[in-house]
């Protein structure tokens, strides 16, 4: 079998596996069409493609596994949270229901007394409103659900402010609070209604 020799630019013959001429040191240029070079290029091309394929497949597998774990964990967490929150809200409601209803009743009574211009009824309603908004219902806050806590906190704040306006007028204050008082009553009612809707949703979805 004949050995392939390479010529340097000066015409010196060198073995094909040399990179520089043994006589003059010039770089040896290989024929890109030679079988050895073709085979070398083909081998490296195959290796490169194989490595890329392995990397892509590995990344895809890891992504799928992570997505599966995340979705499963999210689904379980969501389900567990709903179940725990629902049970906690129902348990909380057992104690909070009485002051909640008392605050609702005091708001209704205050609006009725305002329409009837009944001083005695207004005094009773405002005192009940104050006790429910300042002491009784806040004793059950925060609620187990964030949104429920927000609505109830807003309700007791508006009702507490309204009760002080009312009692101030009854005690002879020169400020009548004609505009602020009914607005606070309506706002407190609105937040209580939203809170009640959230509680009803829990009641209907809980097992």
Whether 187 and 96 share a structural domain: yes
64 in any annotated domain = no
35 in any annotated domain = no
106 in any annotated domain = yes
82 in any annotated domain = no
What pLDDT shows up at residue 193?
96
CB 88 within 8 A of CB 118: no
**What are 22-48's pLDDT values in tens digits?**
788 777 776 555 555 555 555 555 555
Whether 108 and 195 share a structural domain: yes
Whether 177 and 92 share a structural domain: yes
Whether 19 and 109 share a structural domain: no
Return the residue matching tokens 């799928």.
64
Whether 25 and 96 share a structural domain: no
Query: Could you give phi then psi for residue 8, rounded to 5 degrees?
Result: -85, 170
CB 5 within 8 A of CB 15: yes
Number of domains in the chain: 2
Higher-pLDDT residue of 79, 114: 114
Once rounded to an integer, what is the mean pLDDT over residues 68-82?
45
What pLDDT shows up at residue 103?
96
Whether 13 and 113 share a structural domain: no
Whether 182 and 108 share a structural domain: yes
**What are 148-184's pLDDT values in tens digits?**
999 999 999 999 999 998 888 888 776 767 778 889 9
Whether 95 and 165 share a structural domain: yes
Q: Which of 2-11, 89-98, 125-134 has the lowest mean pLDDT?
A: 2-11
- Residues with Cβ within 8 Å of residue 7, at least 6 apart in sequence: 13, 14, 28
Q: How many CA atoms lie within 13 A of 10 on its CB side?
A: 10
Whether 97 and 180 share a structural domain: yes
70 in any annotated domain = no
What pLDDT shows up at residue 62?
65
Query: Which range of residues forms the domain containing residue 3?
Result: 1-30
69 in any annotated domain = no
80 in any annotated domain = no
pLDDT above 70: percentage of residues in the chain: 69
- Residues with Cβ within 8 Å of residue 180, at least 6 apart in sequence: 161, 165
In which band, very low, low, confident or very high, does the pLDDT at 93 lie, cut at 50, 70 and 90?
Answer: very high
Q: Cβ–Cβ contacts within 10 Å for residue 165, how many? A: 21
Once rounded to an integer, what is the mean pLDDT over residues 62-91?
58
């Amino acid at each position: 079998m004949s050995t392939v020799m390479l010529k340097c630019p000066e015409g010196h013959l060198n073995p094909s596996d040399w990179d520089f001429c043994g006589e003059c040191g010039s770089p040896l240029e290989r024929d890109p069409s030679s079988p050895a070079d073709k085979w070398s290029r083909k081998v490296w091309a195959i290796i490169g493609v194989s490595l890329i394929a392995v990397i892509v497949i590995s990344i895809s597998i890891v992504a799928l596994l992570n997505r599966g774990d995340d979705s499963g964990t999210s689904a379980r967490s969501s389900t567990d949270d709903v179940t725990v929150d629902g049970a906690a809200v129902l348990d909380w409601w057992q104690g909070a229901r009485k002051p909640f209803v008392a605050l609702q009743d005091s708001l209704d009574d205050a609006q009725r007394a305002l329409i009837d211009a009944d001083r005695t009824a207004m005094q009773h309603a405002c005192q009940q409103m104050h006790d429910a908004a300042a002491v009784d219902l806040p004793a059950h806050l925060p609620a187990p659900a964030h949104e429920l806590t927000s609505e109830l906190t807003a309700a007791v704040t508006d009702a507490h402010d309204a009760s002080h306006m009312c009692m101030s007028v009854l005690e002879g204050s020169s400020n009548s609070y004609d505009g602020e008082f009914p607005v606070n009553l309506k706002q407190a009612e609105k937040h209580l209604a939203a809170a009640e809707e959230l509680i009803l949703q829990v009641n209907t979805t809980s097992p």
